[in-house]
Amino acid sequence: MAEPPSPPPPPPPQSVSPENDVAMSPHNLDLQNSSEDPDSSFPTQTTPEPAVPDSPDSTTTRPDPNPPPRKRRRRKKFFTELTTGTSTRRNDVAKDCDVEALIAISVGFPVDSLTEEEIEANVVSTVGGSEQSNYIVVRNHILARWRSNVSVWLTHDQALRSIRSEHKGLVETAYRFLLEHGYINFGLAHEIKTLKQKPFDGSYRGTVIVIGAGFAGLVAARQLVFMGFKVVILEGRTRPGGRVKTKKMSGDGVEAAADFGGSVLTGINGNPLGVLARQLGLPLHKVRDICPLYLPDGRSVDSEVDSRVEVSFNKLLERVCKLRQAMIEEVKSVDVPLGTALEAFRRVYKVAEDKEERMLLNWHLANLETVECVKYGSDGVLVCAAGQEFRGDVALCTVPLGVLKKGDIEFVPELPQRKKDAIHRLGFGLLNKVAILFPYNFWGGDIDTFGHLTEDLSMRGEFFLFYSYSSVSGGPLLVALVAGEAAIRFEMMSPVESVKRVLDILKDIFNPKGIVVPDPVQAVCTRWGKDHFAYGSYSYVAVGSSGDDYDILAESVGDGRVFFAGEATSKQYPATMHGAFLSGMREAANILRVAKRRSSMTIDTTKSVNQENDDLNKLFVKPDLTFGSFSALFDLNLNDHDSSSLLRVKIGGVVLDSGSLYLYAWLSKKRVIELSQVEGDENRMRMLNRNFGVSLVGRKGLSSAAESLIANIKLSRPNFNETENGLMAEKENS
């Protein structure tokens, strides 16, 4: 399996890991020994997944069967007062809880608090307190049980058997949350695939149109089907996979599988793609830490010089990041490109003044480095593609950030300004590859990577890193990476010229050693920047943007009609394929949550249509805004122009013998104000339909969201209830 085509990311901020001091207290929540369950197919003691550092320096993936012992800090005691008769059992429970907590942390759960998703799902009645602590222990236990055997479906009953019966409610809540949010029972194992092909509760919840068949779209689609939705996937390419593409290269008796997009798993602890690999029985190869660097003339870089420059680079990076953040906080409009700031600090601190050291620093810097229209409204979504129209209740947009930046997809109404601003601010980087199949491996089998330095500052991203895929691809395959500005210039070169440049570099490195570089059997150059379904490779925090922009990009629009997923919506794991995977699971759960909310807001069927019309007629006696045949009601509790409003249009009584006909629409207050500034009802209708993509409906055609708005409008007008009560009293008196 593979990661998106991005360069090795900068070191992530420090997070809790098995090396940190972690203490989880059971709070008298006894976990029953699994051996008491005769039908359980799970081991009696939870075993954590193999510990592989989750860092750029230790990417991908075969776990070491004999890992070196880790130095552990002294753990806090779980119980300060224990009686002699129960000390052994309680200590065992504490140890199990501790191990299970580490597994939950590796998946992304905080140590002793709830995630935002859990808070939104109301997993506990009150945030904080003993109920939350007990829930966390139960959640961790269920998660660890499934992780101990990811090829078997973990049932609710199996989860319940190992926990005392008085905590049945917590088990139900935690199991359902983990199931609906894709933390358990996911993947490609035969049993799991079979059970996920039909809704888990037999319910039908509507139609979802998924735009894009990359990892986020495919994962979300599978999960949505399991949740009871009918799913349609729209993909502009002739293949699924998005920015992940593998192709077999062959010739002259050799062959190899080449990844033109994503290719590396960044850590496997908690990584859902590591779970897929385990389910499929795929061997994973850990990228070795050895990465020799070569000067332009082919000489090897002195290892001591390399280490010294790397330390200096990391110190510079730390200082620059702190100063850059301080500048942004002090003067909100000031932001400096990371490369510019690093160069300034290098000069001030006199780092890497030697020519060879300067080239080394540049190498580290290089390492830093479908659909046409979606219309949405209160009654659903309409997606236009290739002359066809697809209608659904909800749309999930998973296209790359580059496509959103390009504006190839029109949204009607337009996306909120804050989302458009986030799309503009976030960066979308470019990384290309030259995959070359040789007749034999001439570079040696003891390394997985080696680097190449250059004297030209502007070319530091040109073929700066080479990956050897001989150990995993089935043949003598070498892949050269080109990033940053060099990747843009690379797309202007012919493939023949690019391959020749790579071969010249390889000859400069290996010929002085007496090693002949053979002619390639086959070579392929990627062009992700010119790909109309991507326009680039990976998202990053550009000058003027922040991590918050990832969250903004992930927000749904249209009161839960259009959702967004993909690596550029993952603040925690941007520019990674597992980030895309997890975002697909996240949005599937969000779509389910909104569908349940709409279902719970169903209008009371015993209420007569006449009574409903009377209520609206009373409300519209004093509308908040009137223009021509149009009138509107606002929620007086909300002053935001993006808040919802109810629009009523009077179709004149000249034609209708029975009097006037009223039609309605649910749209933002901002749109209503824009309509009021247009002259003439005909022009207003044209703007409403063509520009806003809104259709007028009768009273019974209003959506549940509109009904909820009407209820809020009533509550915000106390005089309405007083008037209604007064009218009823008059009727009784008469």
488, part of any domain: yes
Q: pLDDT band at 205, cuts 50/70/90? A: confident
| Angle, in degrees to the nearest 10, between helices 718-733 and 609-619 | 120
As a whole-number percent, the residues of the chain with pLDDT over 90 amount to 46
Residues 488 and 519 in one domain: yes
Residues 641 and 670 in one domain: yes
Which positions ≥6 away from 59 have C-beta within 8 Å?
A: 8, 264, 265, 266, 267, 287
Question: Strand, helix or coil at 96?
Answer: helix
How many domains would you assign to the chain? Answer: 4
Residues 176 and 224 in one domain: no
Q: State the DSSP code for 624.
A: S
Q: What is the pLDDT of residue 720?
A: 61
Residues 423 and 435 in one domain: no
What's the mean pLDDT when you consider all of the chain? 78
Residues 509 and 581 in one domain: no
Domain that holds residue 678: 622-716
Q: What is the pLDDT of residue 664?
A: 87
Average pLDDT over residues 121-150: 94
Average pLDDT over residues 613-632: 86
Q: Which of 125, 121, 160, 168 is nearest to 142 (CA)?
A: 160
Tokens of 602: 């169903």
Question: Strand, helix or coil at 375?
Answer: strand
Tokens of 368: 């830093």
Q: Which of 364, 538, 505 is nearest to 434 (CA)?
A: 505
Highest mean pLDDT among 79-93, 328-342, 368-382, 392-406: 392-406
**Residue-wise pLDDT tens digits, 458-478:** 788 899 899 999 988 999 999
Better-predicted residue by pLDDT, 73 or 407: 407
Better-predicted residue by pLDDT, 624 or 1: 624
Which positions ≥6 away from 379 have C-beta within 8 Å?
A: 695, 697, 701, 703
Omega of the bond prior to 718 within 30 degrees of 0, cis? no
> What CA–CA distance (Å, rounded) separates 212 from 504?
39
**Residue-wise pLDDT tens digits, 223-268:** 999 999 989 888 888 888 999 999 999 999 999 999 999 888 877 7
Helices (H), 152-287: 156-161, 168-180, 190-195, 215-226, 272-280
**DSSP for 502-525, written as a single string:** HHHHHHHHHGGGT---PPPSEEEE
DSSP element (H, E) containing 40: none
Q: C-alpha 522: how far from its chain's center? A: 35
54, part of any domain: no
Average pLDDT over residues 618-626: 89
Lowest-pLDDT range of 361-375, 452-466, 499-513? 361-375
Lowest-pLDDT range of 122-126, 554-558, 658-662, 688-692? 658-662
Q: Check which CATH number belongs to the domain holding 487 and give it.
A: 3.90.660
Tokens of 346: 């290098």
Q: pLDDT band at 17, cuts 50/70/90? A: very low
Lowest-pLDDT range of 398-402, 447-451, 458-462, 547-551? 458-462
679, part of any domain: yes
* pTM for this predicted structure: 0.66
Q: Is residue 74 over pLDDT 90?
A: no
Residues 94 and 178 in one domain: yes
**Residue-wise pLDDT tens digits, 163-198:** 888 899 999 999 999 999 999 999 999 999 999 888
Q: Is residue 722 over pLDDT 70?
A: no
Q: Is residue 10 over pLDDT 70?
A: no
- The domain boundary, picked from 479, 501, 530, lies at 530
342, part of any domain: no
Q: What is the pLDDT of residue 101?
A: 92
Q: What is the pLDDT of residue 124?
A: 93
**Residue-wise pLDDT tens digits, 623-660:** 999 999 899 998 888 778 788 899 998 865 433 333 45
Q: What is the pLDDT of residue 83?
A: 29
Residues 547 and 402 in one domain: yes
62, part of any domain: no
- The domain boundary, picked from 497, 530, 563, lies at 530
With beta carbons less than 8 A apart as the criterion, state whether 259 and 249 touch.
no
Handedness of CA 455, 458, 462, 464 (dihedral sign): positive
Residues 314 and 456 in one domain: yes
Tokens of 132: 């939350």
566, part of any domain: yes
Q: What is the pLDDT of residue 619?
A: 87
